[in-house]
Amino acid sequence: MDTLIAIPVLFLTLLIQVTAVSRLPLLHGTADLVLLTLIAWGICTKTNNAWIWALIGGLMTSFVSAVPGLAVIIPYIVVALLAQLLHGQLWQSPILAMFLITILGSFMVQLTTMVFLNSNDIPFNFALALEAIIIPSLILNLFLSLPIYLLIKDISQWVYPIIEYE
């Protein structure tokens, strides 16, 4: 039941991503709200369902995006598991963990997309991609990571009020 909350939360996140965030680029990079939500959920909760959230988020995103499903789902699951792992290691400084995984996750998602482009013989300049897309996207993700973390923390405390304080 508590996993089902992922569907409305991620649906709303993806809706905002597609309609608003993707229209607000920094150079050519855009923030990834779904990724940030998955990271925040992995950090904020003590449950082991972060990978299910990542799977749902990846399926939803791949339905909307032209990027193939696996190129979205795999990095999302890896990042969510990483967030869950670091939740236990850096539990005293979750915000630091949020920033750290945001950096790693952003690179991972972007690199996976580039692998997809490369495998489809779509030419691109890596230096240009780094300068115009990857770094600006990372900056936007870092900028939005704190508010997303606070929002997801509230949601997680609403979903798991007893577990959090036990």
| By CB under 8 A, residue 137 contacts another protein | yes
Identify the residue among 8, 92, 120, 166 touching another protein (CB under 8 A). Answer: 120
Identify the residue among 30, 45, 49, 145 touching another protein (CB under 8 A). Answer: 30
DSSP 25: -
- What does the radius of gyration of the chain's CA atoms come to, in whole angstroms? 15
| By CB under 8 A, residue 19 contacts another protein | yes
Residue written as tokens 């082991």? 48
| Selected range binding another protein among 42-50, 77-85, 131-139, 147-155, rule: CB under 8 A | 131-139
Q: Do residues 112 and 68 make contact, with C-beta atoms less than 8 angstroms apart? A: no
Strand-pairing partners, residue 26, are: 29
Q: Among residues 24 and 162, whose Cβ is nearest to another protein?
A: 24
| By CB under 8 A, residue 59 contacts another protein | no
| By CB under 8 A, residue 64 contacts another protein | yes
Say which amino acid occupies 7. Answer: I
| By CB under 8 A, residue 43 contacts another protein | no
Q: Among residues 92 and 120, whose Cβ is nearest to another protein?
A: 120
Q: Do residues 60 and 16 make contact, with C-beta atoms less than 8 angstroms apart? A: no
Q: Among residues 84 and 110, whose Cβ is nearest to another protein?
A: 110
Q: How distant is the alpha carbon of residue 57 from its chain centre? A: 9
Buried b (16+ CB within 10 A) or exposed e, 121-132: eeeeeeeebeeb
